[in-house]
Structure 1
Amino acid sequence: MSSPTTREHKTDVEKSYSFSLITISTSRYEKYGNVQSPDDAEDLSGKMMVDLVLSKGHNVSKYELISDNSDMIIDSVNRALDSKADIIITSGGTGLSSKDITIESLVPLFEKEMPGFGELFRYKSIEQIGSSVILTRAAAGIVKSKVLFCLPGSPAAVELALSEIILPETGHVVKHAHQ
């Protein structure tokens, strides 16, 4: 249940937003190269992102598959920041292995961090993965008046983040990011 203040903040928000979606996966990138569709890369998480965004009446301005490479990650996000996308979502590279560098690459770009996203995502993830939630490094922030979400790469994590957090709050968070 939302408070009157929250309901007020959610008024006068656009109904449709533009999303730039980036899958970060070295193995898929090496196998499929630079493809323009998650179907072409057998990217279940990417397909889930596209399908969920479109199902809520938003549009996908760009889908990109890149490697776990800091320069590629930053370049891809910078291109998305220079585009008309309102929201940028990355999927993958948020784990604890030495190859997982999404958080280290992107959090320094945040002008404002949104710690509540990672906290809520981990809280909601407990039902799915139990105490393994301590390995989850989902993050979000504002960069150049745009919203950037960094999600784990699993389809279940993508579905949870988009269905239960990001898409219900899209208008609200974009409105605040643009102020």
Structure 2
Amino acid sequence: MWKVALITASNSASRGEKEDDSGPVIQELIQRELSCEVMGYRVLPDCIETLKENMIELIDRHKADLLITIGGTSVSPEDVTPEATRQVIDRAIPGMAEEMRRKALELTRYAMLTRALCGTRGNALIINLPGTAQAAKYCLESVMDQLDNALLILHGKKREVLNLGGESE
């Protein structure tokens, strides 16, 4: 069973001015689709240092296998989740972020404005999702079929084999 942590990056939700409606949607989806325990869920301000410190704590100290961030990925000057993520990850996984954008572009041209990243820190996977519940859910669904495989590979439990027939060995 994978250990999952969620962070919603939102100035207004962290101040209690609005409710975080995206976090619960993503929590429900991930628990339904992946054999996991959500071991942490935090609503934080859009602040690089705060986000970075919490990401590192959840992965390094609390041993999250999967860290999903929600929000803070647009081009707004206060949206800084990708910058925080870039400082935390060891390696980027551009294909996952590209697939989320590709699928979201089928629904809206605004998807090209997301700066979401995906990457690894040690043997943990980090995925940035957009802030609205519908967009976050749609983006996560677009890569959901690869989460278990990615986590198994990161933990050395499965070899990654490219098979052009579409199935991994």
State the TM-score, normalizing by the size of structure 1.
0.81
Amino acid aligned to 2:101? R
Amino acid aligned to 1:50? Q
The answer as to 2:112 corresponding to 1:161 is: no
Q: Which residue of 1 aligns with 2:163?
A: none
- Equivalent residue runs for 1:1-179 within 5 Å: 16-31=1-16, 42-56=19-33, 57-81=35-59, 82-129=61-108, 131-165=109-143, 167-179=144-156
Amino acid aligned to 2:151? V
Q: Which residue of 1 aligns with 2:160?
A: none
Unaligned runs of 5+ in 2: 157-169
Cα-Cα RMSD: 1.5
The alignment-based identity, stated in percent, is 27
CA contact (8 A) 1:87 1:146 kept: yes
Unaligned runs of 5+ in 1: 1-15, 33-40
1:46-104: per-residue Cα shift (whole Å, max 9, x none)? 01111111212421010001000111101110111121321000001111111011111
More helix by share: 1
1:19-40: per-residue Cα shift (whole Å, max 9, x none)? 10000000111126xxxxxxxx
State the TM-score, normalizing by the size of structure 2.
0.85
Q: Which runs of 4+ in 1 moved over 6 A?
A: none
